Structures are given as C-alpha cells and as structure tokens.
C-alpha cells in the first residue's frame, strides 16, 4: 500500500523535472562533466608523477570510478536531504510528520534527482574502461564484487548523508557542516587511502567507513595486499559494512526525529 | 554614485547577519583544504612541479579555499529567481542601472567574505602548514587582483542569470557553468600542472582570471602585470556584454497588467 504511494510521489516528481526538457538535458550533461572533471584532474596529476600513494594511474582511476558511481547513486536517492534545513525552517517538516508514512522515505521520495543519471553514467563508463585497463583477477567472486562494490558504496554514502543531515535537527544551519562530511567523503574516496595523513584517514576511512567504498574493494579486484597492512578480508566485506552503516543511520535519524520540536514559526 | 555605495554597504550588512552559516562554511573550507592538500602534497612531495614545492602548494590550496566564497565560483540564482517570478519588473522600475546595483551589492558581499571566509582558512594554513608569504608590496597588487576577480565572477554570474530572460529555467546552464569553473579556474589543481600544450588554452578562459590569477600574484610567479591585464580585459568584456544583454532583455519583458 505505502509502496504505491511512494511510486506515485516519485513519478510525479520525475514528470515535473522533465517539463523543462532542454534545461534537464543540460543538467544531465553538467553532472557528467562534473564527474569527469575529477578524472581530468587525476590525469593532469599523473602527467607529472607516476604514482600517487603507491598506486599507478589505472588503479587510481578504478577507485575513482567505483567511488564516483556510488556517489552518483547516493546523490540521486539521498541528495534531497540537503533540503532538510529548509524543511525544518519553514515548518514543512511538520507536514511530513502528520502523514502516515516514514519521514525519511518521504524526504527521499520528495524529489528524486534524475539528472544525476549523467553522473552515474559517466562513472559507469569510466569503471568499464578501468576494468579493461587493469589486470583484474577475474573469477565469479570478483565479478560479483564489481557490481556489489558501487552498490554497497551507494548505501554507505546514503547512510553518511542521512547521518550528517540529521545534524540539522540540532543545528538548523548546520548544512555546510554536513556538506563537509558528505561531499568530503566523496573527495576522500576517489583517491587511495594511502594518500592521506593518519588523522584524515582515521576519520574518513573508518569513523565514516569511506575506505570500504572504493579503496578496499579495489585492492580485492586488483589482488593487491593492503599497503596499510589490513587483512585481505577487508576487500570483501563492503556489503556488510554498508548494512551496518544503514542500520546506524536509521537509528540516528529516528533519534533525531524524536528530538525534533519544530522551530515554531 | 552615493546610492551604489549605500547598496555595497547593504550587501556587506546583509551577509553579516548569517554569522553561524559563515562559521559552518569555514569549517567546510578547512576540511576540503586538508583533503586537497593531501593529494597534491603526495604529488609535489616527489619533486616540485612547475615551480610548485610543498610550501607553494600549501599556500595555493589555502588561498584557493579562502577565495572560493569571496569570488563565488558557482552560479547564484537570485536574479534568475526574480526573472522567473516576474519580480524583476520592480527592479527595472527603480532609478538605477540594474547591473551596477547588483554589482555594488556583490562588492559589499565579497568585502564581508574577505573577513570571515578568506582570512580564517588562510590563517589556519599559515599556522599549521609551510606557507609562502609575499613581499609587502605584493599585498597591494593581490588586493587589486582579487577585486578584479570578483568583477569577472560577477560579470559572468550576471550573464548566467540573464539567460533566464530567454530560457525561463537556467538551472542547466548554471550547472554547466559550475562544472566548467571547477575544472578551469584552478581550484582543484594549479593550472600550471596541465600539460604544456594545454596551459595556454586553460589560461585563455575568463575562469583563470577568477582564481588562479590572484593566487599566482600572491605566490609571485613572475611579474604581476600580465595577470592584472588579463583580468582587467575579462572584467571589461563580461561587464560590457552584460550591459548589452540587459538592454536587449529589457525589451523582451512584458508587464502583465493586473
């Protein structure tokens, strides 16, 4: 029953977005350009050096592609949470509370960013290229991992998004802070974790499980030992990490909503 | 003229009311600075690239993070929203030149941003990382360069908003603009890192005048005059084009009585 309502809500939003068709197509293109800009930057750097953090260009591009695809999917599904401060400030969030549907699902369904297709498409295209360029130890297990890694990454990113957005229930103008975490983790995961210093790595790789989006799965695909000394197993557990992150995010969101009082305006 | 000065002051005041948002934005700049610096230092740590050693790279990153909010590297949509809703008619009625009025307000805004968005990340970088301070005289030139960068950025954003007169929905153009700036203004990687054949190409866009030019002036990469000349050229071009576009756009506006 409830699912049908969500499908209808999302459908209505999609039709709305398509009404300015030229603008929509341009936005898709812009998303793809945005995604590919980071690739250009990686290539520019590798024009000057032969390795970053001990990884050659093709391996970094593989990590970037997995991270970019995962972030694109998460941005499409959860990106609407960036509007949460507006919902809280204007009192629109109270309306969501009155409806007999989950608040989180309503927020996410309130606007599905279809234009992110451009970003996801660019990510997948580069991923296919990177898989071709690298020496992947193909087996049924790695084949599953190629699909599972971006999807788990998307769940991890979405969980980060939900958790970070929940800050706004306490600090109404905390939007920029949560952006630092969400977009920051995207920037972090596009490069090997070995690039970063110990503090940044601890936070973005393990407190926020960013290393499980692209870094560890890439090591498993490339059949490379972890230069940081982690066990081989880490490359295969991203789906479990994603599940744990989703459960944690759900818990944080529920606590935050229970804490919510409305701004009174 | 006095009216425009007042508008600039109003711009300054208007943004100073969002104090906590400014603090939060500052934190974002620092986090992104740290992430970007880590990647670039891994590269230049293996040996300087086009004159950028670790100190110059750190200075580059923190100046860039500080300038983002001063110069504004993304498309704003205030005017676009007013065109869409029709409120722009009220703005056109007023006894001012719309473009100049918005420019004055933007100057006020950028003045406030220098205090709360530029100074903190740069001081943070100077305290905790190797930093390259310029000679005393360079500060003056750097200030002029930043002002020109704001002018170029405003001119481009005005043009971007003005497309709404024809398109009604300029979000697509704005998104494309943001993607282009991100790559070509020299925020993510110094333009000098591009392959030799590409360097003249990336320097020939107005985007380079918005961020890389002031940074290169600060880092004293050669004489500052060519940078300033390029910036002044683009500032004049984009502001003049904006003026012409506005004149044409005004002829298109139809006020529906009621």
Task: Please tell me which of the candidates B18, B180, B194 has its beta carbon nearest to residue A44.
Answer: B194
| Contact at CB, B172 and A30, closer than 8 angstroms | yes
Residue B201 forms contact with A (CB below 8 Å):
no
Residue B97's pLDDT is what? 87
Across B7-36, average pLDDT: 81
Average pLDDT of chain B? Answer: 89
How does residue B174 score in pLDDT terms, banded at 50, 70 and 90? confident
DSSP designation for A18: T
Model pLDDT for residues B224-234, shown as the tens digit of each residue: 999 999 999 99
Residue B87 forms contact with A (CB below 8 Å):
no
Model pLDDT for residues A66-83, shown as the tens digit of each residue: 999 999 999 998 888 888
Model pLDDT for residues B200-226, shown as the tens digit of each residue: 999 999 999 999 999 999 999 989 999
Q: Among residues 225-264 of chain A, which lie with CB inside 8 Å of chain B? A: none
Q: Look at residue A52 and give its three-state secondary structure.
A: strand
Residue A30's pLDDT is what? 87
In this structure, what are the phi and psi dihedrals at residue B129, rounded to the nearest 5 degrees?
A: -135, 160
Residue B14 forms contact with A (CB below 8 Å):
no
C-alpha neighbours within 13 Å on the C-beta side of residue A29: 13
Distance CA B48, CA A49 (A): 10
Angle of helix A140-166 versus helix A175-189 axis, rounded to 10:
160
Residue B74's pLDDT is what? 82
Q: Best residue in A49, A51, A178 to probe B by mutation, most B CBs within 10 Å?
A: A49
Name the pTM for this structure: 0.89
Across B76-85, average pLDDT: 82
Model pLDDT for residues B95-127, shown as the tens digit of each residue: 888 899 999 999 999 998 898 889 999 999 999
Q: Could you say which residues of chain A have pLDDT below 70?
A: 1-2, 172-173, 263-265
Decide if pLDDT at B256 tops 70: no
CA separation, residue B1 to residues B4, B29, B101, B202 (Å): 5, 35, 10, 37
* ipTM field: 0.88
Residues A235-247: b if buried by 16+ CB within 10 A, e if exposed: bbbbbebbeebbe
Distance CA B99, CA A145 (A): 54
Strand partners, A55: A52
Task: Please tell me which of the candidates B25, B39, B42 has its beta carbon nearest to residue A176.
Answer: B25
Task: Please tell me which of the candidates A25, A37, A53 has its beta carbon nearest to residue B42.
Answer: A53
Residue A23 forms contact with B (CB below 8 Å):
yes
Given its phi and psi angles, is residue B134 left (phi above 0), alpha (psi -120 to 50 degrees) or beta? beta
How does residue B80 score in pLDDT terms, banded at 50, 70 and 90? confident
Residue A55 forms contact with B (CB below 8 Å):
no
Decide if pLDDT at B144 tops 90: yes
Residue B163 forms contact with A (CB below 8 Å):
no
| Contact at CB, B189 and A33, closer than 8 angstroms | no
How does residue B39 score in pLDDT terms, banded at 50, 70 and 90? very high
Residue B127's pLDDT is what? 95
Distance CA A115, CA A76 (A): 8
Residue A146 forms contact with B (CB below 8 Å):
no
């Amino acid at each position: 029953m409830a699912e049908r309502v969500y499908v209808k809500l999302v459908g209505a939003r999609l039709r709305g977005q398509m009404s300015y068709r030229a603008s929509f197509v341009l936005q898709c293109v812009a998303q793809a350009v945005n995604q590919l800009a980071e690739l250009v930057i990686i290539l520019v750097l590798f024009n000057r050096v032969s390795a970053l953090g001990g990884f050659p260009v093709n391996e970094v591009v593989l990590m970037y592609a997995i991270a970019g695809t995962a972030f694109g999917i998460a941005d499409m599904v959860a990106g609407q949470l960036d509007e949460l401060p507006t919902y809280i400030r204007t009192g629109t969030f109270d309306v969501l509370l009155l409806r007999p549907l989950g608040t989180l699902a309503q927020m996410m369904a309130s606007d599905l960013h279809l234009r992110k297709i451009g970003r996801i498409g660019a990510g997948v295209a580069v991923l296919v290229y990177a898989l071709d360029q690298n020496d992947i130890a193909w087996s049924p297990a790695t084949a599953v991992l190629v699909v599972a890694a971006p999807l788990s990454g998307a769940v991890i990113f979405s969980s980060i998004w939900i958790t970070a957005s929940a800050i706004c229930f306490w600090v109404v103008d905390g939007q920029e802070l949560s952006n630092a975490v969400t977009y920051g983790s995207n920037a972090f995961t596009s490069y090997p974790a070995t690039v970063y210093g110990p503090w940044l790595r601890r936070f973005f790789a393990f407190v926020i499980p960013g290393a499980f989006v692209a870094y560890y799965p890439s090591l498993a695909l490339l059949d490379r030992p972890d230069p940081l000394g982690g066990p081989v197993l880490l490359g295969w557990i991203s789906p479990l990490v994603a599940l744990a992150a989703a459960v944690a995010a759900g818990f944080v969101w529920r606590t935050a909503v229970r804490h919510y009082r409305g701004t009174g305006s | 003229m006095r009216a425009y000065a007042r508008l600039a002051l109003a711009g300054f005041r208007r943004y100073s009311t969002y104090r906590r948002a400014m603090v939060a934005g500052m934190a974002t700049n620092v986090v992104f600075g740290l992430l970007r610096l880590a990647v670039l230092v891994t590269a230049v740590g293996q040996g300087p690239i086009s004159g950028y050693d670790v100190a110059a790279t750190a200075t580059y990153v923190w100046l860039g993070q500080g300038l983002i909010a001063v110069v504004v590297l993304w498309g704003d949509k205030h005017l676009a929203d007013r065109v869409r809703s029709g409120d722009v008619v009220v703005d056109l009625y007023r006894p001012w030149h719309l473009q100049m009025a918005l420019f004055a307000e933007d100057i006020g805004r950028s003045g406030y941003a220098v205090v709360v968005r530029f100074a903190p990340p740069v001081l943070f970088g100077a305290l905790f990382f190797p930093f390259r301070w310029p000679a005393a005289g360079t500060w003056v030139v750097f200030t002029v360069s930043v002002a020109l960068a704001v002018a170029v950025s405003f001119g481009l954003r005005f043009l971007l908003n003005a497309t709404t007169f024809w398109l009604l929905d300029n979000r697509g153009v704005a998104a494309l603009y943001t993607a282009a700036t991100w790559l070509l203004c020299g925020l993510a990687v110094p333009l000098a890192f591009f392959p030799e054949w590409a360097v003249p190409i990336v320097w020939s866009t107005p985007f380079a005048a918005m961020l890389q030019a002031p940074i290169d002036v600060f880092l004293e990469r050669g004489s500052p005059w060519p940078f300033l000349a390029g910036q002044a050229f683009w500032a004049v071009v984009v502001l003049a084009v904006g003026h012409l576009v506005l004149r044409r756009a005004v002829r298109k506006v139809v006020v529906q009585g009621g």
